[in-house]
Chain A
Amino acid sequence: MKPRKGSFVRSMLAIIWKDLAAELRSRELVSAMLVFALLVIFIFNFALELDAQARATVTAGVLWVTFTFAGTIGLNRSMAVEKDRGCLDGLLLAPVDRSAIYFGKMLSNLAFMLMMAVIILPVYSLFYNVNLFNPALVLVIFLGSLGYVTVGTLLSSMAVQARTRDILLPILLFPVVLPLVVAAVKASTVVLAGQPLGDALAYLNLMIVYDVIFIAVAFMVFDFVVEE
């Protein structure tokens, strides 16, 4: 059999398929993220006994705190599955561009984040009495989640090598995603207040630039991050 190099797109799609198929059977990752996210919603709901107007001003913040914390659980679990059975070595042994491995993992993490968002948004809408079914909000959530998993996948592949990976990931991740989360909260606040999307343009631009920069950084450095 003639040795062949794996194609970038085929390898990336294979990794996405593998992650989705495994998750569909185990339901470990999404269910953990979901339960955690719902608990955060409940806790905030009872902790913030505010009047309707004050509640409306914090909705976006609570929404992104929920996404951020639940997302960390998903990122940790997604990489731990690879590490625990030596599967990360199995991936790194394959003759594929290592950035294909990164993009495969990143896109499956994005799919898990968006699945969680689709399930918790109706619950959120109910508790906070706001209309979250808004195309502009979908755009903000997509851009925010994309940036979050872009950085998160890169840092979780670093943190997974450490004994204290569960603690290490949030410590590394939260300071780096802070500008993204702030922009996402501000943009969401504008959208939820019913103002035109143009008012949130600066924040949307910031999120797009953040996403592009960190996708490029991850593409360049992933090879070195996973090297021993």
Chain B
Amino acid sequence: MIEVRKLVKRFGHKTVLKKLDFDAQQGEFVALLGPNGAGKTTFLRILATLSRPSLGLVKIAGFQLPGQASAVRSRLGVVSHLPLLYGDLTAEENLRFFGQLYNVEHLKTRVDTVLDLVGLSNRRRDMVRTFSRGMQQRLAIGRAIIHDPDVLLLDEPHTGLDQDACEMLDKVLLQVSARGHTLVMTSHDLARAAGLASRFDILTRGRIQASVQSDALAEDGLLAFYRQTLEQSTTEAAV
């Protein structure tokens, strides 16, 4: 579903992504972990077509970026730590607006279905600015899946959420994942990522340094794997 080869991203003289390789299969839930400044958000913005790669191959659902960005966009949903929603529109109006941009068929039925899925049917006519952060984030997921995308990209979706809101969000993400969508999520919260993803990739110094399937890890093994990978990366850089 996602194929990335030797991806390079430069901002002026600074190279953020250094020949990064990445793959994600249909239905996979990949957690992209790494320290601040590793390039996680930059990588996700390239996948989301919001930023152009400097070099390298990026293919999503068989379409290459940046040339076929429009075809890719219709197959992508994006959730970030910002809600990407309009506070002065209701939940229903926000979904209807984005549904129109995605040219969704039977939009009214689809809006009802999505509002049910994210548990906001009873607040459908309320302004988004009156929503708690957790509710806004659930609606943001609704916005991202309104067109039933093949791939869902999540950039630290738990940022700023309290414990209850995080649990509610996890429930929605697992429901979305169970429907066969491919999910790629960046996170700093290892414990939360461990409970969600089927694969963990550690991104540091502009490359995927290590990758492991969740079933290959012992219970509480993700933290040890993460630390070991970072130490290895630091040692390699020193050499």
Residue in B88, B102, B110, B148 whose CB lies within 8 Å of A6:
B102
User: A93 touching B78 by the CB < 8 A rule?
Assistant: yes
Chain A CB within 8 A of B74 CB? yes
Asked if A93 contacts B74 (CB within 8 A), the reply is no
B105 engages A1 (CB within 8 Å): yes
CB–CB B73/A228 < 8 A:
no
Q: Which of A21-29, A60-68, A112-120, A187-195 contacts B (4 or more CB under 8 A)?
A: A21-29
Q: Which of B103, B143, B148 has the most CB of A within 10 A?
A: B103
> Once the chains are docked, how many angstroms separate the CA of A1 from the CA of B149?
8
B interface residues (Cβ-Cβ under 8 A, vs A): 45, 48-52, 70-71, 73-76, 78, 80, 82-89, 93, 97-98, 100-105, 110, 127, 143, 147-150
Q: Type the 1/0 row for A67-88, where 1 means its CB is closer than 8 Å to any CB of B.
A: 0000000000000010001110
For residue A227, CB closer than 8 A to chain B, the reply is: yes
B73 and A90 within 8 A (CB): no
- The answer to whether B84 touches A7, judged by C-beta atoms less than 8 angstroms apart, is no
Report if A10-B48 is in contact (Cβ < 8 Å); known contacts: A85-B84, A90-B143: no
Q: How far is the CB of B98 from chain A (nearest CB, A)?
A: 7
The complex places the Cα of A1 from the Cα of B50 at a distance, in Å, of: 24
The answer to whether A90 touches B100 (Cβ under 8 A) is: no
Can you list 5 A-B contacts with CB-CB less than 8 angstroms, sorted by A residue number?
Answer: A18-B86, A25-B127, A87-B85, A90-B98, A95-B70
CA–CA, A33 to B60, complex, Å? 44
Flag A10-32 by CB within 8 Å of B: 1 or 0 each. Answer: 11001001100111011000000
Q: Could you say which residues of chain B place their CB within 8 Å of the CB of A1?
A: 104-105, 110, 147-148
| Interface bits A181-205 vs B (CB < 8 Å: 1, else 0) | 0000000000000000000000000
Q: Does A163 contact B (CB under 8 A)?
A: no
Residues of A within 8 A of B45 (CB): 228
Q: Report the nearest A residue to B148, measured CB to CB.
A: A1
- Is A58 interfacial (CB-CB < 8 Å)? no
The interface residues of chain B lying within 8 Å CB-to-CB of A25 are: 88, 127
Whether the Cβ atoms of B78 and A10 lie closer than 8 Å is no
| Chain B neighbourhood of A22, CB < 8 A | 86, 88-89
Contact with B along A120-149 (1 / 0, CB 8 A): 000000000000000000000000000000
Residues from chain A with Cβ under 8 Å of B143 in the complex: 90
* Neighbour of B100 across the interface among A11, A23, A81, A92, CB < 8 A: A11
Residue A175 lies at the interface, judged by CB distance under 8 Å to chain B: no
Interface string of A88-100 (1 = CB under 8 A from B): 0111111111000
Residue of B nearest to A14 (CB): B100
- Specify which chain A residues have a CB less than 8 angstroms from the CB of B76 in the assembled complex: 93
Q: Which residues of A contact B89 (CB under 8 A)?
A: 18, 21-22
A4-B86 contact in complex given A21-B93, A90-B143, C-beta closer than 8 Å: no
Closest B residue to A96 by CB, please name it.
B101
Residues of B within 8 A of A18 (CB): 86, 89, 93, 97
With CB as the reference atom, state the residue of chain B lying closest to A26. Answer: B88
Using known A-B contacts A6-B103, A96-B101, determine if residue A87 contacts B86 with beta carbons closer than 8 Å: yes
Bound CA–CA A227/B49 (angstroms): 9
Query: Hey, which chain A residues are within 8 Å of B101, CB to CB?
Result: 6, 11, 14, 91, 94-96
Cβ-closest 10 pairs across A and B? A86-B82, A90-B84, A3-B74, A94-B101, A1-B148, A95-B74, A22-B88, A95-B73, A14-B100, A4-B103
Asked whether A85 lies within 8 Å of B75 as measured between CB atoms, the reply is: no
- Distance of B112 from chain A, by nearest CB (Å): 15
Question: A3 and B147 in contact (CB under 8 A), knowing A11-B100, A11-B101, A90-B98?
Answer: yes
Q: Are A95 and B71 in contact (CB under 8 A)?
A: yes
In the bound assembly, the distance between CA atoms of A173 and B221 in angstroms comes to 57
Cβ–Cβ contact B50 & A92, under 8 A: yes
Residue among A3, A81, A89, A227 making CB contact with B84, cutoff 8 Å: A89
Chain B's nearest CB lies how many Å from the CB of A39? 25
Inter-subunit contact B50/A89 (CB<8 Å) = yes
Tell me, in angstroms, the Cα distance from A94 to B72 when the chains sit together.
Answer: 10
**Of the residues A11, A91, A93, A97, contact of B48 by C-beta under 8 Å:** A93
Report how far A228 CA is from B87 CA in the complex, Å.
25
B residues in contact with A93, CB < 8 Å: 48-50, 73, 76, 78, 84
Q: How far is the CB of B14 from chain A (nearest CB, A)?
A: 14
Q: Looking across the interface, which residue of chain A has its beta carbon closest to that of B81?
A: A86
Q: List 11 other contacts, CB 8 Å, given A89-B78, A95-B71.
A: A4-B103, A5-B74, A11-B100, A11-B101, A25-B88, A86-B82, A86-B84, A89-B82, A89-B84, A95-B73, A95-B74
